[in-house]
Amino acid sequence: MIVLTRSVPPGAVIVLSGTTQPYGSIEVTVAKRPRMATLECPGLPRAVLSHPDTSREGRVPLDERTTLTVGELPVIVTQGRGLARKDRALKISMGGRDYTYLATGANVEELAGLVRSHAPLGSTTTVTVSPEAGPYEVALALILLGADTNPLTLTRRAISGVVGFLQTGQGEA
């Protein structure tokens, strides 16, 4: 199990950091500008998630303008649009393999049964890695902690839409 501690240093939206075997020191940093998340860890491939929109702050959105690489592999992510959780899952293609990333419960997300993250309100995120998960899958799941995954559930999507509307000043008369 990986335990990551959340912090918010200057210039960052969030930093998740921890140390665990066999990977070593793990750090996922989500920068304010440019809108980018990076994974740095000696035991895993480096991962970078970025988006060109700098008009908002927060975790990196996942859409057609998002770029994601894990090691040397480009990653393609598409968002499902159904009503059920499984239909709203992210469809991910990396290195000739396809994965599904979905919300499986309150504050719980999972990559294809290989890596599960639990991020309750508070200062820690726990990540459980199955023995079948390789380093690229672990790196992919960790970098997605820096993504805006609110669209994975209708409730989170609705709440984030209202909060985003209020925070941008668009709700002012």
What is the C-alpha separation between 79 and 44, in angstroms, rounded?
A: 25
Q: What is the dihedral of CA 67, 79, 121, 159, to 10 degrees?
A: 120
Domain residue extents for the chain: 2-167
pLDDT for 172:
41
pTM of the model: 0.86
pLDDT for res 79: 80
Q: What pLDDT score does 137 carry?
A: 98
The rounded average pLDDT for each run of 10 residues, N- to C-terminus, in the chain (173 residues) is: 95 94 97 93 98 84 93 93 74 96 89 94 93 98 92 53 48 40
- Are 157 and 151 spatial neighbours (Cβ–Cβ below 8 Å)? yes
Q: How many residues are listed for the chain in this entry?
A: 173
Cα gap 84→66, rounded to integer Å: 24
Identify the three-state secondary structure at position 97: strand
- What is the distance, to the nearest Å, from the Cα of residue 11 to the centroid of all Cα atoms in its chain? 19
Are the C-beta atoms of residues 110 and 116 closer than 8 Å to each other? yes
Closest CA to 95 of 137, 67, 133: 137
Write down the pLDDT at residue 88. 77
